[in-house]
A and B are shown apart, each in its own frame.
Chain A
Amino acid sequence: MAAGSTYEPIATTTLGSTAASYTFSSIPSTYTDLILVVRAALNAAGDIYVQFNGDTATNYSITTLYGTGSAAGSTRFSSQTQALIAYYGNLTSTLGNTNQIVQIQNYANTTTNKTFISRGNNAGSGLDANVGLWRSTAAINSIKLNNSSTTFSVGSTFTLYGIAAA
């Protein structure tokens, strides 16, 4: 990819204090796709989830293909109130030891449900490639990051990029 202006930062944050969640709000609809890069830690190892537009209904599902370092498998989580973005490639309590990258396709259209692909990477417990679905035709204008533990640690970084087709 040659240097160009189609891959642009929308927002980024590095937590200065612990937080139960973090939300990207007022996401502009001017891009084609979104990329979310997570480099975070929790007070105890656990999962990380996304919710869109504040929707807490059972409109999320995810199918994961994972490797643990000794086994490979796949499973599905249907009718969830939030969507995992990593399964075995989830967070630890050590900042820098994991990363999660989420690609959300055609996020601003108002005709189709929204799908995303994510990669979770945790060299200590495993990795995964996931496909997620939010059953809503609304344009995504906010993304909330939740976790299964108590808080995201200080220094956790969340960055949202937009990709413009033209």
Chain B
Amino acid sequence: MANTFELIASSTVGAGGASSIDFTSIPSTYTDLAIYLSARQSRSEVVSNTRIEFNGSSANLSCRYLQGTGSAAVSSSSASYLFAASPANTATANTFGNSYIYIPNYAGSTNKSVSWDAVTETNATGAEAYLVAGLWSNTAAITSIKLSSLSSDNFMQYSTAYLYGVKNA
């Protein structure tokens, strides 16, 4: 059987932080993409949001999400952004949030739907769980991915992101 889950690229944020994590020149030779993100942002809050953009475009992104806050479950949507939560700088020290982002048929000629699960558990109030249904209404093949702070803050040192390609044959 084929080896179907292959690392394409990875990124680790160094000292001083980074305003974005970028994957470029993504080959079209896979079927789906998977991203594992471990992140913390510099914003002076407990939680911040990480957004994703494709091919250098911030247009035609939308999402609906289910958010668990530790005390309630709520759902909302965005007609402009595709995002999920990450811990920020006043969260429990040394705590990073996890995200799993799956993008089927990223190189195809239809719109691109996205599945995104994220958690920011910190053993404190303000921690959140996010389930996100996202859409990039664009038929272009995805060749680059940008992860950044929705509030224009930085990813903090030791944040990591791994991009995998998934082959169906």
Contact = CB atoms under 8 A, between A and B. Distances in A.
A96 B105 contact: yes
Max chain B Cβ within 10 angstroms of own Cβ: one of A8, A119, A121, A126: A121
A155 B1 CA distance: 25
B1 A5 contact: yes
Given A8-B4, A12-B169, A159-B31, A94 B74 contact: no
What interface size band does chain A fall in?
35 or more
Contact of B66 (A3, A39, A67, A125): A67
A123 B64 contact: yes
B98 to A, nearest CB: 13
What interface size band does chain B fall in?
35 or more
A1 to B, nearest CB: 6
What are the nearest 3 A-B pairs in CB distance? A96-B110, A67-B75, A67-B66
Interface of B: 1-7, 31-32, 36, 62-67, 73-77, 102, 104-105, 108, 110-115, 117, 131-135, 139, 164, 166-169
Interface of A: 1-5, 7-9, 12, 37, 39, 65-73, 89, 94-99, 101, 119-129, 155, 157, 159, 161
Given A7-B4, A69-B65, A72-B74, 7 more contacts: A70-B76, A72-B67, A96-B105, A99-B102, A99-B113, A121-B115, A123-B77
